[in-house]
Amino acid sequence: MASPRIQAGTAAETPPTLWDPVVRVTHWGIAASVLLNALLDEGGSVLHVTIGWIVMALLFLRMVWGVLGPVEARFSAFPPNPLAALRHLRQLATGRVRHYPSHNPAGALMAYAFWATLAVVTATGLIMTGGATPMQVAADKAAVASGDWSALIRDGEGASDEDESLGKAAKEVHDVAANLLLILAALHVAGVALESRAMRRNLVAAMLIGKRQR
């Protein structure tokens, strides 16, 4: 009998055996983008800005999905609750864990920490580029490369000391928050490994393709 691969959150007191595609695509899209932008490409490059905009779009979609999506993807299914998170971690240490219909409280807190940090990184990135779209960044770079420096002047146009210090502060916050993202990612991976063992559930499969039934 083919048991439902997408469980109704209300029907079962366990997390979904397979998250819906929007949750999965936004999760892996953001994960890949963060790794690329933090470790591989060059800050300020067209690729870096493009990926930053993709992250902004994916984050936006996940926020919309958190309000309009199915029950277990909604924020209301996993409200931020530090006390419950601590309780859950204590249970994890003793090896007796409760099951939750959505993210467990510690996992939920991790998700909110990710989203807040991603928002900070994206916002500071936008301040640093003056809100330029990747297309504009590419056009400006092409203009400078062909010897037309006016693009640079336009960037600096009306740049007061205040703007400049704002830009510096933004860069500082951008770098710190980006590093924080990597630390969160490491904690997240460790948490998933621990939870998977404690709950005897393959949490990674639920975020990938689910359990193959046939």
- Does residue 2 belong to the site contacting another protein (CB under 8 A)? yes
- Dihedral class, residue 200 (left if φ above 0, else alpha if ψ from -120 to 50, else beta): left
Q: Which of 31, 38, 45, 69 binds another protein (CB under 8 A)?
A: 69
Which range in 59-67, 80-88, 181-189, 198-206 contacts another protein by CB under 8 A?
A: 59-67
Size of the site for another protein (CB under 8 A): 35
Asked if 31 and 38 touch (Cβ cutoff 8 Å), the reply is no
Q: Which of 15, 37, 51, 53 binds another protein (CB under 8 A)?
A: 53
Q: Which of 130, 121, 17 is nearest to 59 (CA)?
A: 121
Asked if 74 and 22 touch (Cβ cutoff 8 Å), the reply is no
What phi and psi, each to the nearest 5 degrees, are found at residue 184?
-60, -40
Q: Which of 31, 36, 43, 65 binds another protein (CB under 8 A)?
A: 65
* Binding string, residues 135-154; x marks residues near another protein by CB under 8 A: xx------------------
Shortest Cβ distance from residue 126 to another protein (Å)? 9
User: Residue holding tokens 């998977």?
Assistant: 196
Q: Given the complex with another protein, which of 102 and 105 has the nearer CB atom?
A: 102
- Does residue 19 belong to the site contacting another protein (CB under 8 A)? no
- Does residue 58 belong to the site contacting another protein (CB under 8 A)? yes
Asked if 68 and 156 touch (Cβ cutoff 8 Å), the reply is no
Q: State the amino acid at position 144 in one-letter form.
A: V
Asked if 96 and 5 touch (Cβ cutoff 8 Å), the reply is no
Residues near another protein, by CB under 8 A: 1-8, 11, 20-22, 25-26, 29, 53-54, 56-58, 60-61, 64-65, 68-70, 131-136, 213-214
